[in-house]
Amino acid sequence: MPDRAEVTRRPERPKLSLGPRLFTAMLIVEAMLGISRKLILAAAGLLSALGALHAFQKPFRQYPGVEHFTYPLPPDWQEKGDFIFARLMYPNGGPMDGYYPRFQGDWREGLSLWTQDYPPADRHFLAAVRRLTRIKTRSVEQSVNLDEREEYDFPFLYAVQVGEWALTEQQGREMREYLLRGGFFMADDFHGTHEYAEFVTRMKYVFPDRPIVEIPAGDPILHAVYDLTERVQIPGRDHLRLGCKNCDGDGRDDGGRGAHWQAIYDDKGRVMVVISYNSDLGDAWEWADDARYPEKAASIAMRIGANDIVYAMTH
């Protein structure tokens, strides 16, 4: 009997629906400025393909989270937007799973590692992107399952706790195809050498031969909206006293001190995977409206995310 992934597998799709309303407007402007008839006809074909893609898109669903079992929906949650924040769903139970033996049910139903900070982190961040950029974001996130091939509807994919995840080899191959077709993956919230090693192990399922490197200061991703020159370490709320997790002073001297902004590039120099190692952007987004969380850390976390989104939409 075929497994669940085979039963629900969808047909091959075109490249990516990168913000259809935004890109439709761009195409129209180009046509008005004198683009050739051939390109206009190509744009019409693209719009037709985008319409077909969105017929497949899974409806919004809010899952129970490990921190927020329920959470109120914003008043405009049903309104469409030019950009949808996609959060990666992935299996729990990896060797570094800090919740074990808690939350070991069906990860496809929530209450799993992938729901850390969810959903307030996503929604606070989306509200900030609306203010900081000209992108009209949808006010609620979309949870994406690689086994169902849902990622192709979204140009940007985010995951949290990636030093504790249990990404499968099949999911790694699926992510590779998504990224090589133009997708973008933001990996966040893992700390110290042990969690880093587990992250690298799983990312080898995605790209066995591509290196992870520090992002150079002049890379466009650091200047897409804001010029980010100071590599500030963004601590989680529970680690504000030390400013780091899995670092000297908390009994687990494990390399968790010092921010690392890393990436995996494609053959043309485009960032496909941006990596926030030893920082917790999701926590900064989640607690951005809490007076006890440092404003500087929250502000920088929002700016990093805004840069990443604009870069993903334009590269």
**Residue 15: how many other CB atoms lie within 10 Å:** 15
Report the share of the chain in percent with pLDDT over 70.
Answer: 81
**pLDDT score of 81:** 94
> For the whole model, what pTM was predicted?
0.83
**Judging by DSSP bridges, how do beta strands 271-277 and 156-160 pair with one another?**
unpaired
* Sheet with 86-89, side-by-side order of all strands: 142-145, 86-89, 156-160, 184-190, 271-277, 260-265, 213-214
**Residue range 30-48, pLDDT digits in tens:** 433 344 444 444 444 444 4
> How far apart (Å, rounded) are the C-alpha atoms in residues 298 and 127?
13
Is the pLDDT assigned to residue 297 strictly greater than 80? yes
Mean pLDDT of 48-74: 79
Cβ pair 43, 31 in contact under 8 A = yes
Class of domain 57-314 (CATH, top level): alpha beta
* Secondary structure of residue 268 in the 3-state scheme: coil
**pLDDT score of 253:** 61
Domain boundaries, the chain: 57-314
Amino acid, res. 214? E
